[in-house]
Structure 1
Amino acid sequence: MPAEDTNTRAWQIYGQRQLARSYTPPIPDRLGWTPWEGIGPGAEVLGDVAGRRVLDIGSGAGHHAVHLAQAHGARVTGIELSPTQHERAVSAPADVNGVEFV
């Protein structure tokens, strides 16, 4: 099986599992670019995004997109290829202004 197909299948399984558990990652207080808490820059590397359009490619469950809209006033479009990850994103904080998922 090609690596792309394996990756697609893995994200489908992961997303289905998280949907079944009704798990949505919490909206972070600070963006992190590393798996280690407090290590590395946060959203400040993006500059002032208030009122600006931001494209979140591979937005997953959408928690980072929501953070950028709520905490920084950005208008965020989250793009997610995985149907289950997209479902997680649109089902969680659906009432947040300035965020859309496609």
Structure 2
Amino acid sequence: MLDAGDDSDKSLNAPTRTYVRDAKAMAATPADVKEYPNSYTFIVDMPGLRSGDIKVQVEDGNVLVISGERKREEEKEGAKYVRMERRVGKFMRKFVFAGECEY
């Protein structure tokens, strides 16, 4: 029998901070995927990042992870932002394949 008043299991069901942070990063990173006969092409919006700042890796043999982080520019002495509209933070997308993938 399950005791509904037991608070000890709440932490097991709560999302971890990493999961929440990753979910936000993935929701804010739009992507297009093109399928070719023998490959895929991924077009991912990561504004403000240079190609060297973007990490591409395969996890568990079938999960392609594309990630990067845009950091806030250091303010120069005597200048301050009056408006900041460009997104800073983590960008990430994960794509799961039915079989092994390589890049």
Length-normalised TM-score, structure 1: 0.21
Who wins on radius of gyration, i.e. which is larger? 2
Report which of the two has the higher share of helix.
1
Q: What TM-score results when the alignment is normalised by the length of structure 2?
A: 0.21
